[in-house]
C-alpha cells in the first residue's frame, strides 16, 4: 500500500477527524479533486492544529480494492454475492422486513449503529426504527463504550454530557487520569496535559490509575497500578481519607447536593488499609493520591474504558463523581469530572437518542411526556412509540442467537470482531434470517455473514455534524464523491423508509434539513442546540452546546450556576460498593486478561490496518505478560502463545514485561478473526455486564496461557500480503495443527505450515 502521496496540494478544505472523540479539526489537501494530504486545522478550537498519526494516513485507504462500491446480495451464506441495483436490494430488504413484522412483530427486528455515524445518520436511523417500525431495538457500539458514563452522569448530575471543556486543562493543577490511556487513545489532549505539566512541573500533579504502566503513566507523579476492577475501593478509600482529614467542602455539599450522608456512611467501610488491600497497592500510595486530590486548587479527572467497561461501570463512575462533589471540584474553570468519549460522534449519538432506551434530545422511551413530544414532532400517533426499552447491544445479539430476533441490520460497526464472546455473535449472525451489513469495505469480519451488503459513503464523502468530547459541534463537508454507488448512511435509511411506505416522513433535500429537524427536538433540553445549523457552523466554525439561540455564542461549561438538572437543582451523591470482577481467576484459568488499544490502530483495522507505517510498532497481535508468569508457563519473549478462556482461544506473540501486574496480562483487541484466523481477543472475552448500563466487562476475564511450537525452519518465510493488507504477521504463516478427537480448547499447541 502506498503511503500518503507527494502530489502537490491545489486546495485545502476544512474537515473533522473521523477517528477519536477528541474531535480534532483537519485540513484536507486535494490534488485534482483527490485527497492527497491531511493535516491539523490551526483554527479549530479543540486542537489548534495538532493531530496524531492516524488521520495523516487516511488518503491511501480511501480507495482500496476492498471498498464496497455496489449493493450485493445472496440468498444463502454459502453462495457468492451478486451485484444488484439499489432498487433491487432495498426492495428485497423492505419485503423481508415486512414479512418478519407480520409474522413476529417489530421486536423481531434489530438495528445496530455506531458512534462513527454523523448526527444526521443517527437521527434518521433512530426515527425510522423507533417511530416507524415501532421497536426500540436500535442500539449502538456506544453501549460497549460510553453507556456506564451516561448512566453515571444521569444519576449523579441529572443529565448526560461532560460539564467540562479542553480549556480547563489550562486552569487545572491536578490531573486524575483513571482507566484511561490518553497518550495512545486521546493523544492530542494528552499533549495538552503534558505541556501543562512541563510549564509548571512542581505545582501541577498528574496521577494515573491503571493496572498497566502505560505510556500515559510516563508523565505521572503518581502511578497507582491497582488490581483490575478495584477502582470503587480506591475511590471510596480516597473519600474516606479526605473526610478524616477534613478536606471535603461542607459548604458546597450543603448548598448544591443531596444524600451526602449515605455516601459518607458507605465509605466508612473503606479505611485506607482495607481499600489499599483490595486494590493491591500500598496504603501510603492511596493516602498520597487522596491528599493530592484534596489539596489541589482545581482537579480535572479524565476517564474512559478502564472505568466504563466493567460489571461495576456505573458504580465506578458514581464513586468518581462523589469525590468531585464532596470536594466541590466541579462547575468552575479547571475542575470537573471529564469522561472521554471514544468515537468521533458518540456524543452526537447520545444527543440523538441512539441507544435502545433513549429518544432524541436526551429523552427516555419510558417517559410518557417524552414520547408525546417526539411523536408530535414526527407526526405519528404516540402509541407507535414503544414504552419498553429495546434490546441493548449484547441482548440484541443474544436474542438473535436464541432465534427471537430474525433480522439484524448492522451499520458502521464490526461486531463480529468487536463484541465480547464472539462465539455467541457468530451464532447470532448465522441464525438470523436476514443480515444486512452497511459498511464502506468488504470483506470485514461482519460482512462475511451478510445476506445483503449496502455500500456506505465514508469520510470525507458525506456531509454532516459531529459532537466531540467537549460538546463541540463541527460541520464536515462532503469533499469527494463516494466511489461507485455508495451513499451516505442517512440516505440509505431514507430510501428504505420510502420503500416501506413512509415517504412522506423521510423526504429530505439535504443533510442540513435532517439536522434542522433534529435540533428542533433539542430545544429546552439539557443538550439544547436549537441555535445551531449547518449554515451557521459553516459560517462561524465549531460551537459548543448548550447553544439555544442563533445569536448565542455557545457554552464552554455546564452548571456554572451550580444548578443541576435533577428536579430540585441539587447533584445527587450515589453510594458505590466495591465488587470483584465477574470472572475470578482459578486453578484452570489463573490469569486476568485485560484488553485495549494501540496508539496507531483504530478498532478492527479496516483502515489503519492497511497502512504499513501504522503497523510498525505492532505488526501482529501480542500478549503482554509479567516475567514471573512467563517463567511459570514457559513463555518466551517474541514467541507464539495460545491464550485460552472458557469461551475460546486466541493466538498472539508473547511480550514479557513488568509493565503489567503479576497475575494479569494484556492483549490489544484490534485483530479480529479475519486478520488473526487462529483466534482473536474477543474469542476470549466475556459478555458479563453492568446491571444498569448493560456495558460488558471487556477489561477482565479469566484465561490460561500455553507456549506454542512452530515447526522448525518455518519462521523466515512470511508470505506476501493480500491486495489490501500489508504483509501479514508471523502468526499468519501457519495454521494450528490439530489432533482429531480433541476439542478446540485442548488441541495441541503447535503451529504448522499453511
Ligand X SMILES: Nc1nc2c(c(=O)[nH]1)N[C@H]1C(S)=C(S)[C@@H](COP(=O)(O)OP(=O)(O)OC[C@H]3O[C@@H](n4cnc5c(=O)[nH]c(N)nc54)[C@H](O)[C@@H]3O)O[C@H]1N2
Task: Give whichever of 181 and 329 is closer to ligand X, judged by the CB atom.
Answer: 181
Residue with cell 426499552: 389
The CB-of-175 to ligand SF4 minimum distance in angstroms stands at: 17
Which residues lie closer than 8 Å to 741 by C-beta, 6 or more apart?
none
The CB-of-239 to ligand X minimum distance in angstroms stands at: 16
User: Given strand 543-544, what is the order of strands in its sheet?
Assistant: 464-467, 472-476, 543-544
Helix, strand, or coil here: 466?
Answer: strand
Q: What would the x/- binding string for ligand X be over residues 272 to 291, using CB under 6 A?
A: --------------------
The CB-of-365 to Mo ion minimum distance in angstroms stands at: 23
Which residues lie closer than 8 Å to 380 by C-beta, 6 or more apart?
131, 132, 505
Q: How far apart are CA 162 and CA 173, in angstroms?
A: 19
The cell for 670 is: 484490534
Residue 444 binds ligand X, judged by CB under 6 A? yes
Q: Which of 41, 351, 489, 620 binds ligand X (CB under 6 A)?
A: 489
Q: How far apart are CA 228 and CA 280, in angstroms?
A: 9
The cell for 203 is: 505545582
Q: Which of 14, 37, 54, 661 binds ligand SF4 (CB under 6 A)?
A: 54
Q: Which stretch binds ligand X (CB under 6 A): 464-472, 561-569, 595-603, 632-640?
A: 595-603
Q: What would the x/- binding string for Mo ion be over residues 334 to 363, using CB under 5 A?
A: --------x---------------------
Residue 340 binds ligand SF4, judged by CB under 6 A? no
Interface of this chain with ligand X, residues 407 to 436, rule: CB under 6 A: 411-415, 418
Nearest alpha carbon to residue 145 among 375, 394, 357: 394
Residue 332, CA distances (Å) to 298, 410, 468 in order: 8, 41, 20
Which residues lie closer than 8 Å to 68 by C-beta, 6 or more apart?
439, 440, 441, 442, 447, 453, 454, 455, 456, 486
Residue 576 binds Mo ion, judged by CB under 5 A? no
Q: Which stretch binds ligand SF4 (CB under 6 A): 18-26, 108-116, 329-337, 711-719?
A: 18-26
Residue 542 binds ligand SF4, judged by CB under 6 A? no
Residue 214 binds ligand X, judged by CB under 6 A? yes
Q: What would the x/- binding string for ligand X be over residues 140 to 169, using CB under 6 A?
A: -x--xx------------------------
The cell for 467 is: 459532537
Task: Give whichever of 304 and 329 is closer to ligand SF4, judged by the CB atom.
Answer: 304
Are the CB atoms for 71 and 83 separated by under 8 Å? yes
Q: How far apart are CA 693 and CA 363, in angstroms?
A: 16
Which residues lie closer than 8 Å to 254 by C-beta, 6 or more apart?
none
Q: How far apart are CA 438 and CA 492, in angstroms?
A: 9
DSSP 90: H
Alpha helix ranges (H) inside 300-414:
305-308, 313-326, 346-351, 368-378, 393-401
Q: Which of 210, 351, 517, 629 binds ligand X (CB under 6 A)?
A: 210
Backbone Cα Rg of the chain: 25
Q: Which stretch binds ligand SF4 (CB under 6 A): 51-59, 257-265, 568-576, 632-640?
A: 51-59
Q: Which stretch binds ligand SF4 (CB under 6 A): 13-21, 348-356, 371-379, 703-711?
A: 13-21
Task: Give whichever of 257 and 606 is closer to ligand X, judged by the CB atom.
Answer: 606
Q: Which of 84, 100, 178, 241 binds ligand X (CB under 6 A)?
A: 178
Q: How far apart are CA 490 and CA 510, in angstroms?
A: 10
Size of site (CB under 5 A) for Mo ion: 2
Q: Which of 15, 22, 212, 572 binds ligand SF4 (CB under 6 A)?
A: 22
Q: Which of 173, 395, 439, 517 binds ligand X (CB under 6 A)?
A: 439
The CB-of-145 to Mo ion minimum distance in angstroms stands at: 3
Are the CB atoms for 165 and 545 separated by under 8 Å? no
Q: Which stretch binds ligand X (CB under 6 A): 383-391, 548-556, 591-599, 717-725?
A: 591-599
Residue 460 binds ligand SF4, judged by CB under 6 A? no
Is 505 exposed, middle or buried (CB count within 10 Å of its CB: 0-12, 13-18, 19+)?
Answer: middle
Task: Give whichever of 29 and 415 is closer to ligand X, judged by the CB atom.
Answer: 415
Q: Which stretch binds ligand X (CB under 6 A): 247-255, 270-278, 301-309, 712-720?
A: 301-309
Q: What would the x/- binding string for Mo ion be over residues 107 to 146, using CB under 5 A?
A: --------------------------------------x-
The CB-of-361 to ligand SF4 minimum distance in angstroms stands at: 26
Q: Which of 27, 30, 35, 51 binds ligand SF4 (CB under 6 A)?
A: 51
φ, ψ of residue 272 in degrees (nearest 5): -55, -35
Answer whether the bond into residue 546 is a cis peptide, omega within 30°: yes
Q: How far apart are CA 196 and CA 212, in angstroms?
A: 24
DSSP 29: E
Give just the sign of the alpha carbon dihedral 86, 610, 111, 519.
Answer: negative
Q: Which of 471, 689, 699, 732 binds ligand X (CB under 6 A)?
A: 699
Helix, strand, or coil here: 105?
Answer: coil
Task: Give whichever of 578 and 603 is closer to ligand SF4, judged by the CB atom.
Answer: 603
Residue 698 binds ligand X, judged by CB under 6 A? yes
Are the CB atoms for 295 and 249 separated by under 8 Å? no
Q: How far apart are CA 544 and CA 558, in angstroms?
A: 10
Interface of this chain with ligand SF4, residues 146 to 205, rule: CB under 6 A: 186-188
**Residue ranges binding ligand X (CB under 6 A):** 20, 114, 116, 141, 144-145, 178-181, 184-185, 209-212, 214, 228-229, 231, 304-306, 309, 342-343, 411-415, 418, 438-441, 444, 456, 458, 489, 594-597, 599, 601-604, 606, 669, 681-682, 685, 698-699
**Residue ranges binding ligand SF4 (CB under 6 A):** 17, 19-20, 22-24, 47, 51-52, 54-55, 186-188
Amino acid at each position: 500500500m502506498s503511503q500518503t502521496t507527494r502530489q502537490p496540494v491545489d486546495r485545502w478544505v476544512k474537515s473533522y477527524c473521523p477517528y477519536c472523540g477528541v474531535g480534532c479539526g483537519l485540513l484536507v489537501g486535494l490534488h485534482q479533486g483527490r485527497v492527497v494530504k491531511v493535516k491539523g486545522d490551526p483554527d479549530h478550537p479543540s486542537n489548534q492544529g495538532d493531530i496524531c498519526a492516524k488521520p495523516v494516513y487516511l488518503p491511501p485507504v480511501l480507495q482500496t480494492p476492498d471498498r464496497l462500491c455496489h449493493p450485493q446480495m445472496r440468498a444463502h451464506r454459502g453462495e457468492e454475492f451478486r451485484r444488484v441495483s439499489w432498487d433491487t436490494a432495498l426492495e428485497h430488504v423492505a419485503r423481508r422486513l415486512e414479512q418478519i413484522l407480520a409474522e413476529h412483530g417489530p421486536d423481531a427486528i434489530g438495528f445496530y449503529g455506531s458512534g462513527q455515524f454523523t448526527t444526521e445518520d443517527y437521527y434518521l436511523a433512530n426515527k425510522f426504527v423507533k417511530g416507524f417500525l415501532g421497536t426500540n431495538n436500535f442500539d449502538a457500539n456506544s453501549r460497549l463504550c460510553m453507556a456506564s458514563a451516561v448512566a453515571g452522569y444521569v444519576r449523579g448530575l441529572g443529565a448526560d454530557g461532560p460539564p467540562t471543556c479542553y480549556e480547563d486543562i489550562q486552569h487545572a493543577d491536578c490531573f486524575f487520569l483513571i482507566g484511561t490511556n490518553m497518550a495512545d487513545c486521546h493523544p492530542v489532549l494528552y499533549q495538552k496535559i503534558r505541556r501543562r505539566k512541563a510549564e509548571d512541573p512542581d505545582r501541577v500533579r498528574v496521577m494515573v490509575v491503571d493496572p498497566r504502566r502505560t505510556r500515559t503513566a510516563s508523565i505521572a507523579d503518581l502511578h497507582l497500578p491497582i488490581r483490575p476492577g478495584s477502582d470503587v475501593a480506591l475511590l471510596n478509600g480516597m473519600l474516606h481519607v479526605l473526610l478524616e482529614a477534613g478536606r471535603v467542602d461542607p459548604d458546597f455539599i450543603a448548598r448544591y447536593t443531596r444524600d451526602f450522608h449515605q455516601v459518607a456512611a458507605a465509605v466508612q467501610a473503606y479505611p485506607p488499609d482495607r481499600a489499599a488491600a483490595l486494590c493491591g497497592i500500598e496504603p501510603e500510595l492511596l493516602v498520597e493520591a487522596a491528599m493530592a486530590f484534596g489539596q489541589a486548587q482545581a482537579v480535572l479527572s479524565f476517564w474512559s474504558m478502564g472505568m466504563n467497561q466493567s460489571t461495576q461501570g456505573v458504580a465506578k463512575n458514581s464513586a468518581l463523581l462523589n469525590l468531585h462533589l464532596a470536594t466541590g471540584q466541579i462547575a468552575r474553570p479547571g475542575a470537573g469530572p471529564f469522561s472521554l468519549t471514544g468515537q468521533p460522534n458518540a456524543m452526537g449519538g447520545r444527543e440523538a437518542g441512539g441507544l435502545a432506551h433513549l429518544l432524541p434530545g436526551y429523552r427516555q422511551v419510558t417517559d410518557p411526556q417524552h414520547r408525546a413530544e417526539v411523536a408530535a414532532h414526527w407526526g405519528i400517533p404516540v402509541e407507535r412509540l414503544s414504552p419498553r426499552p429495546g434490546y441493548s447491544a449484547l441482548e440484541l445479539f443474544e436474542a438473535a442467537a436464541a432465534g427471537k430476533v430474525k433480522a439484524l441490520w448492522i451499520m458502521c460497526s464490526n461486531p463480529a470482531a468487536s463484541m465480547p464472546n464472539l462465539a455467541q455473535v457468530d451464532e447470532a449472525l448465522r441464525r438470523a434470517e436476514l443480515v444486512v451489513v452497511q459498511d464502506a469495505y468488504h470483506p470485514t469480519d461482519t460482512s462475511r455473514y451478510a445476506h445483503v451488503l449496502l455500500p456506505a459513503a465514508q469520510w470525507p464523502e458525506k456531509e454532516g455534524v459531529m459532537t466531540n468530547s467537549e460538546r463541540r459541534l463541527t460541520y464536515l463537508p462532503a469533499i469527494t464523491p463516494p466511489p461507485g454507488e455508495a451513499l451516505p448512511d442517512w440516505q440509505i435509511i431514507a430510501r428504505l423508509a420510502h420503500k416501506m411506505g413512509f415517504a412522506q416522513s423521510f423526504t429530505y433535500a439535504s443533510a442540513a434539513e435532517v439536522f434542522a429537524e433534529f435540533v428542533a427536538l433539542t430545544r429546552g433540553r439539557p443538550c439544547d442546540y436549537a441555535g445551531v445549523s449547518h449554515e451557521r457552523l459553516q459560517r462561524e466554525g465549531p460551537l459548543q452546546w448548550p447553544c439555544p439561540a442563533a445569536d448565542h455564542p455557545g457554552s464552554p461549561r455546564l452548571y456554572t450556576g451550580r444548578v443541576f438538572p435533577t428536579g430540585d437543582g441539587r447533584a445527587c451523591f450515589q453510594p458505590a460498593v466495591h465488587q470483584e470482577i465477574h470472572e475470578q481467576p482459578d486453578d484452570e484459568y489463573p490469569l486476568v486478561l485485560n484488553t485495549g488499544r494501540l496508539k496507531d490502530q483504530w478498532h478492527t483495522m479496516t483502515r489503519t490496518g492497511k497502512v504499513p507505517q501504522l503497523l510498525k510498532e505492532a505488526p501482529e497481535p501480542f500478549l503482554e505478560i509479567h516475567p514471573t508468569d512467563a517463567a511459570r508457563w514457559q513463555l518466551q519473549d517474541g514467541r507464539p502463545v495460545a491464550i485460552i478462556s472458557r469461551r475460546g482461544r486466541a493466538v498472539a506473540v508473547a511480550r514479557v514485561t513488568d509493565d503489567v501486574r503479576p497475575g494479569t496480562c494484556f492483549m490489544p483487541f484490534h485483530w479480529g478473526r479475519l486478520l488473526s484466523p487462529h483466534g482473536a481477543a474477543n474469542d476470549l472475552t466475556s459478555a458479563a455486564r453492568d446491571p444498569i448500563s448493560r456495558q460488558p466487562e471487556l477489561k477482565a476475564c479469566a484465561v490460561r496461557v500455553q507456549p506454542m511450537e512452530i515447526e522448525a525452519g518455518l519462521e523466515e518465510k512470511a508470505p506476501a500480503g493480500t491486495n489490501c493488507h500489508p504483509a501479514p504477521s508471523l502468526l499468519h504463516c501457519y495454521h494450528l495443527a490439530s489432533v482429531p478427537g480433541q476439542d478446540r480448547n485442548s488441541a495441541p499447541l503447535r503451529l504448522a505450515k499453511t
